[in-house]
Amino acid sequence: MLVSVSMTDSAEKPDQILRIDGNSLTLEDVESAARGRIGRFELDEGARVAMERSHDRVLEVVESGATVYGVNTGFGHFAQVRVDGADLEQLQLNLVRSHAVGVGEPLPLEAVRPIMLLRANVLARGYSGGRPLIVDQLLGLLNRDVCPVVPRQGSVGASGDLAPLAHVALVLVGEGEAWVDGSRVEAAEGLRAAGLDPLVLEAKEGLALLNGTQMMTAIGALACRELEDLCVVADIVGALSVEALGARVDAFEPALAELRPHPGQVDVAHHMVGLLAGSELANRHGAERVQDAYSLRCIPQVHGAARDVCRMARGTLSVEINSVTDNPIVLEDGRIISGGNFHGQPIAYAVDMLAIAAADLASICERRVNRLVNPTLSGLPAFLVQDGGLQSGLLITQTAAAALVSETRGLAVPSAADSIPTSADQEDHVSMGAWGAWKAWQAVANCRRVIAIEVLCACEALEFLAPALPAPKLRAFKDRVREMVEPLTADRVLSPDIARLEVALLEGDLLGSGRD
């Protein structure tokens, strides 16, 4: 739960406190943590009590001599091997060390921060058997923005994201590496920077830190939130393209959408009609054009379907961020039961759909870019430049968009349909959700770049239709774009223009105008 507090004069961090209770996180909280918008993280006192109760139950099991998986046994294929009580702390440390097999480039910090937050939130539920000190340690790192170095590759999404979470846990015990102020340092130095001491893990605590879906869920949450925003901007720039191309508005009639009442389609139809109200430019071809190409006419159907995918993914991810994904789980009645809550299949399906939606949204945007720069289709100067031949104008923007769409279609190939057995066939069905989430996030990033290109082209096309103005609700959007990117009067390097628009899209700087 977020709590606002007064910011002191000397404070540089945001003024919000996020209290972790295991039940109240939202996707917006996850995104805020990723972007460094939370001032401080604290463990809720009720959650602290629940964690102490759960840990006491684990200690009772140890003292009773009962055999319980993960508490006093080996792991995976070694589940039948009982471990002597004197070795239980070493068992947990060995688990963390042995599972830290991640490879490849490190995850960006905006992915690692929400991984840490989500793991803390799971533990805070009080069903994992760990001490509150574990969560205090994770939140202490977050509060000082000390992030473990977590290699991106190595998770198959069951038993959760074992390898990435092991690299997070390594730093808690003073091993591995961490990022401090942009520098990659030994974990011990990172802990000192955060004012923390290395943890000594007790029974089950290593396993409690490793079993879970937090990498795929964190990255999936970011992909979902970013695509939700892009769906809104895609409508806005689609409306600008409708104006630039003089397309018909009656295809967006809400009465049509409500005869096929998919929620996203209905939402987009209403949005488009509102955006284009009072347009001087749409419908300008009159009766000579009875209908437009699909990339214009079917905006409610295609953009709306992407919205519906986001709605589905949001529902799945919102459940997951407040779920217990451990194994075994310490129930309130004292039983400790092994199950499969760590399996990432629900998330894997959701992120695969996000990647597909992002690829298709990028595809329809690229088709509108093509129409804008192609004089045969637009009726405007070729490649939106005067003195064509000497000047190439926006010729290659469509080429760049096409390259991005092709790459994104590859990223949209589902991962959840794949499964490679691991751990000597003990883990004989896995979700591949970590790879799916990463692909989805990259697909959304590519979609954002294609939308930035359409923004560039649509606004440039409107320059040739002056003095006619965009529809009233679109003017502020175009004006804001023009504050970032000047009209094209002669050939220039366009990459910086696209990059500025991409950043503005990521940061929400273009969402103020035309939003639902």
What is the domain partition of the chain in residue ranges?
Answer: 2-212, 220-325+339-506
Annotation marks residue 127 as catalytic: no
Q: For the chain, what is the largest distance between any 2 Cα atoms, rounded to a whole number of angstroms?
A: 87
User: Distances in Å between the alpha carbon of 80 and those of 69, 83, 206?
Assistant: 8, 10, 18
Q: 263 in the Ramachandran plot: left (φ > 0), alpha (ψ -120 to 50) or beta?
A: alpha
Pick the CATH number of 2-212 from 3.30.450.270, 3.50.50.100, 1.10.275.10, 3.30.420.40: 1.10.275.10
Distance, in Å, from the CA atom of 302 to the CA atom of 287, rounded to the nearest integer, reads: 25
* Domain 220-325+339-506: CATH architecture, name and number where available: Up-down Bundle (1.20)
Distance, in Å, from the CA atom of 401 to the CA atom of 452, rounded to the nearest integer, reads: 10
**Residue 357 CB partners (closer than 8 Å, separation 6+):** 227, 305, 306, 309, 310
2-212 and 220-325+339-506 have identical folds: no
Q: For residue 414, give the amino acid letter.
A: P
User: Distances in Å between the alpha carbon of 176 and those of 188, 194, 201?
Assistant: 8, 15, 16
Q: What does the DSSP 8-state code read for residue 512? A: S
What pLDDT, on the 0 to 100 scale, is given for residue 82? 87
Q: Listing from the earlier edge strand, what are the strands of the sheet with 147-148? A: 147-148, 177-180, 183-186
Residue 461: name the closest of 428, 488, 426 by CA. 488
For residues 214 and 169, the answer to whether their CB atoms sit within 8 Å is: no
Tokens, residue 300: 């409610």
Hey, is 303 helix, strand or coil?
Answer: helix
User: Given 69, 127, 294, 349, which residue is catalytic?
Assistant: 69
Residue 447: name the closest of 408, 395, 496 by CA. 408
Residue 130: name the closest of 187, 218, 199 by CA. 199
What pLDDT, on the 0 to 100 scale, is given for residue 424? 85
Distance, in Å, from the CA atom of 439 to the CA atom of 157, rounded to the nearest integer, reads: 14
What pLDDT, on the 0 to 100 scale, is given for residue 12? 59
For residues 389 and 332, the answer to whether their CB atoms sit within 8 Å is: no
What pLDDT, on the 0 to 100 scale, is given for residue 43? 98
What pLDDT, on the 0 to 100 scale, is given for residue 31? 98
Distance, in Å, from the CA atom of 69 to the CA atom of 21, rounded to the nearest integer, reads: 26
Hey, is 69 helix, strand or coil?
Answer: coil
pLDDT by residue for the chain (516 residues), tens digit each? 665 443 333 345 677 999 999 999 999 999 999 999 999 999 999 999 999 999 999 999 888 888 888 888 877 778 788 888 788 899 999 999 999 999 999 999 999 999 999 999 999 999 999 999 999 999 999 999 999 999 999 999 988 899 999 999 999 999 999 999 999 999 999 999 999 999 999 999 999 999 999 999 999 999 999 999 999 999 999 999 999 999 999 999 999 999 999 999 999 999 999 999 999 999 988 777 889 999 999 999 999 999 999 999 999 999 999 999 999 999 999 899 999 999 999 999 999 999 999 999 999 999 999 999 999 999 999 999 999 999 999 999 999 999 999 999 999 999 999 999 998 888 899 999 999 999 999 999 999 999 999 999 999 999 999 999 999 999 999 999 999 999 999 999 999 999 999 999 999 999 865 555
For residues 385 and 394, the answer to whether their CB atoms sit within 8 Å is: yes
Count other Cβ atoms within 10 Å, centred on residue 40: 16
Q: 160 has which bridge partners?
A: 212
For residues 471 and 243, the answer to whether their CB atoms sit within 8 Å is: yes
3-state helix, strand, coil in the chain (%, to 5): 55, 10, 35
Buried residues in 401-439 as b, exposed as e (16+ CB within 10 A): bbebbeebbebbebbbeebeebbeeebeebbbbbbbbbb
Own/partner pairs, 497-505, CB within 8 angstroms, 24+ separation: 497/456, 498/397, 498/400, 498/449, 498/452, 498/453, 498/456, 501/452, 501/455, 501/456, 502/448, 502/449, 502/452, 504/480, 505/229, 505/230, 505/233, 505/448, 505/451, 505/452, 505/455
